[in-house]
Structure 1
Amino acid sequence: MSERRQVSSPDGSWKPIAHYINCQFEQYFRDESGLDRKNIQDGRVHCCLYFLSPFGHGLRPLDISFLRAIHDKVNIVPVIAKADCLTPTEVQHKKEKIRQELQENGINIYEFPECDSDEDEEFKVQDAEMKRSIPFAVIGSTQVVRELKDKVFRGRQYPWGTVEVENSAHCDFLKLREMLIQTHMQDLKDVTHEVHYENYRAQCIQSLTRTGARDRSSRA
């Protein structure tokens, strides 16, 4: 087993985000523990899209520090930004390097559930392809490109050609959108509730139990 690298955050910039996630858990725990449980508002963070730089050879020290700080609090989905800066071969090498470094540093990301045996083959193939795409390599653009008269899309124009945001041959944007909105939204919520929130809830109950025991001991 590879030894984990000890990396400290250069500036602690991840702390406000970790604090926000904890605050949402705290609010939900208070509402759940109250008398009126019928209208609980769920503000918990069910997914964190963590964007990684396309430059460099893998994870930066800040990436490792940030991901370690929140990986047991929220479902992390790593995303390579500005994927049009890389060739298809470079994208694959980048993905392999990031997956390797995530494992070496003991960082847990969102795990896709196994397909049910009764799912149709087409869905199983799409799900397997989606899993292989982690981390998703995406391209963003607010520019509307017109090619010919009948083709309008969001993309980026370069001297050597045009990149389409919603073209699966160019990037993983469609896979990411499908995963978040269509196929895995409920599972993200279930993992948040059954894993991340339950861990937080257990820690709160243990803390309250220890506090109560100390109070009883001091009175005795």
Structure 2
Amino acid sequence: MTAFIPALTLPSAVFATPAAAILLPVTVGAGIGYAIRRKSVKTKQDLVLMDTAKETQKRYMQLKQPPLRPPPWVFGPVWTILYGMMGYASYRAWHTGSLSLNPVTRDLAKQGATLYTIQLGLNFIWMPLFFGWKRPVAASLDIVTLTGVTSYLIYIWSQVDQLSSWCLYPYLGWLSFATYLCIATSHLNNWDLEEKEVPMPPEGKADSNKFVNEK
């Protein structure tokens, strides 16, 4: 059984209300995605920061992809929903545990808060590892660990509040699929993402929804 580690746990205020618990993962997750999409480009005049809303999508499309890969526009809505559900689950588990007269349940709620914080950190670091720093090995280890921690968190929360644990099952299912995509994509690109990106064709010159080496 894991322990409650205050230094590795979000402040209790984050779990105090549904709004705070939900907004934290949604806003931070969106912020990281936005930061990864920012690209430095050098023009003839000067160096400017250019916000390309589809930058991460292009990087994803330019890699060799395994079967069953979804179109890149799917990820944003799916992650927003999953972040909202996990945030609400964290509120439920913390609130239920804090009101319980059973000391074991209270301890499990605190332990779950530590696990939740750890899995959130592992979740947030994946995109910079894969798309930002192009470290497929580290990203694969990260997402495998994240899936394991989330599985254990479901087990812990199931002993505190059943609804909280059920809220994480869609997240766990998506993580399992994302683990397959991460490892399979890394393997197809020889675990080296540095040289696998190729220039996208000009708009209107080719089908922008086509993957590299798709045939």
Q: TM-score, normalised by structure 2?
A: 0.28
Larger helix share, 1 or 2 = 2
Structure showing greater radius of gyration is: 1
Larger strand share, 1 or 2 = 1
